[in-house]
Structures are given as C-alpha cells and as structure tokens.
Structure 1
C-alpha cells in the first residue's frame, strides 16, 4: 500500500478496532443469550471475579470501559443480585463492589465458555506466534500509552 493513498481498511487503528469488535462479538454470543448479560456487564463481572473488592472508579480503566458504562452495568448487576456494595474501610464515602455468591457462580459458569472460544480463536496461531502476538501487542500498547501521556 502506498503511503500517499489512505485506505481505511488498511489503517492500523481501524483494523485493530474491527478485530476487537469481531472477537468481542464472537465471544459475547456465548453469554448474552444464555445468561442475559451484555459485554459491558461481563467485563465488570470479570473484573470483580478476578479482583474482588474494587471501587467502580477502578473498574473503568482496568476493563477498558468508560465510567458511564461501568455505572450502568453495576446498577444492572446489582439489581440482578450478582454484585453488592460495601463501605470502604479506608474511605467511608467510597463503596467497594464485590460479587455475591450468585455473581461468583455466574462468573464461574462463563469463564470456561469464554476461554474455550479464546482458545479456538488463538488456535489459528502456533505457540511461537502467540508469544509474538502478545509481545507485539504489549509494545504497541506501551507506545500508545506514551502518546496519551504526552498529549
């Protein structure tokens, strides 16, 4: 591709966004219909399943979501009985979110499903290619974060 002619389909940020969207959709199909939770709700559930006792403000950057998405997901997950709030021992104004037993059970049901789908997707790569992909993604992520910090 010539650098003089711009093609959206070959523009790296677009390719990455399109790939992320397709992969996310392929995985979310597993739990959306079966468990009636959205991609955003799954990310919040997964964040709390991985790191119990997080403040909502910490979930957003950890799960690559914005504050409003987290707020809506937390409200629905709480309404459904999958998460609960408790006072933060160090800051009474803050609330810590945790999975309820029902939330933990849901998390444990979904994890094997999404891991199997991830394994299928990455099955197109051999072990060396998987390691290379991870290294490449980490390098690009570090550069992107550097650009964000510089403004």
Structure 2
C-alpha cells in the first residue's frame, strides 16, 4: 500500500502532467507519467537525470576521442583516483568486470593507461593513467563539470546545498541495500513453506 506522503511526492506536478511546467519542459506523456505518476518516482527521476547527463557527454567522448563509455569510465575513474584496481572501478561504476577488462585492454593498447602487478596481491593489476591518459582526462573534465553546473542552474545556492546533503545521506544509507532483496525473498519463502 502506498503512503500518503509517497502520493504527495509524486503529485507535486500532477495537475500539469499535460500542461504547465511539464509541457513547458517538452516532456511527452509517457515520460511525464514515469516521472510523476510512478510509485518508484525517486529512482526513475534519478535515472532520468543521469541519462540526460550521461548520454550527450558519452556521445561527445566517443565522437571526440573514439572511446566507448566503459573505456572513458576507466579514464575518469583513474583521473579521480589513480592507482586503482579493476574491481574497484567495477564496484564504483556498475559495469561488469569483463566489460571493463576489454576496456582496460584497449586503453593499454592505446597507451592511455598502464598496469602493473599489485605488490599486495600479484594476481591483481594496479591501473594508472599514462601522461597521455592524464592529458585526455584533464582536457575532457571541464565538459563534464560545465554540464553539471548547467544542470544545477535550476537551483539556488541553498537548494544545491540541500540537494547535496540529501544525496549524501542516501548514498551513505545505500551500502546496505544490495543484499536486502535476497534476504527478504528468502525470509518470505521460509514463511510460505
């Protein structure tokens, strides 16, 4: 059963689903329904905004540098935290390890990253940007930063701080989420048997 608060959160633009701010934003009826008539409004809105950010930027990366999204994610990750393991990039990006392995192989071949055996675990490779990889990251980063700033122009300074604090709170709470569905299903199965 849906809570009253959940309905209220979804209905903040409901009167204008076919007009008002939604129409002014150029949203079609299906997108509007998913954004404001959806019991999973938060995750859909986050995903929608992420797509509005990621799709044009990664298309630009592919046109400009000839790199796929997984390949650039490796570059971006190492630009933020050089000397990382592939599994750390996989964990932080959501890309499967095998997808990143192919990306890493290509980036090594292009001379954008290098890998060396990890002193702590010889089975793992530490990944680092080369001089060329660092230059690519530094050259491309402003485009990502500028796009995010443009997205945040809709909010005043206090709203940005509030959004940042709320997002941080959700991110910190999220560490326990992945395993919850499995535990709930197994508990439900036991109760039904």
> Which TM-score bucket, shorter chain as reference?
0.7 to 0.9
Which residue of 2 is the match for residue 18 of structure 1?
48
Name whichever of 18-27 and 8-17 sits farther off: 8-17
Counterpart for residue 108 of structure 2: 78
Note if contact 2:53-2:147 (Cα within 8 Å) is conserved in structure 1: no
8 Å CA contact retained: 2:61, 2:67: yes
TM-score by length of 1: 0.84
Q: Which has the larger radius of gyration?
A: 2
For each residue in 1:41-61, what CA deviation from the matched residue of structure 2 results, as whole angstroms up to 9, or x when unmatched?
Answer: 221101111111111111111
Question: Which of the residues 34, 41, 53 maps onto 2:71?
Answer: 41
- TM-score w.r.t. length of structure 2: 0.68
Pairing partner for 2:133 from 77, 82, 103: 103
Structure 2 stretches of 5 or more lacking a match? Answer: 1-6, 11-32, 184-193
Aligned length: 148
Give structure 1 regions of 4+ aligned residues with deviation exceeding 6 angstroms: none
Task: Tell me the CA shift for residue 82 of structure 1.
Answer: 0.6
Equivalent residues of 1:85, 1:96 under 8 A apart: yes
* Alignment gaps of 5+ in structure 1: none
| Corresponding residue of 2:154 | 124
Q: For the Cα contact (< 8 Å) 1:28–1:39, is it kept in 2?
A: yes
Is 1:143–2:173 an aligned residue pair?
yes
Give the Cα separation in 2 of the matches to 1:90 and 1:140. Answer: 33
Contact 2:90–2:96 (8 Å) recurs in 1: yes
Q: Which has the higher contact order (CA 8 A, sep 6+)?
A: 1
Deviation of 1:69 (Å): 2.6
CA RMSD of aligned residues (A): 2.1
In the alignment, is the contact (CA less than 8 A) between 1:48 and 1:54 conserved in 2?
Answer: yes
Contact 1:30–1:114, Cα closer than 8 Å, also in 2: no
Distance (whole Å) between structure 2 residues aligned to residue 88 and residue 147 of structure 1: 30
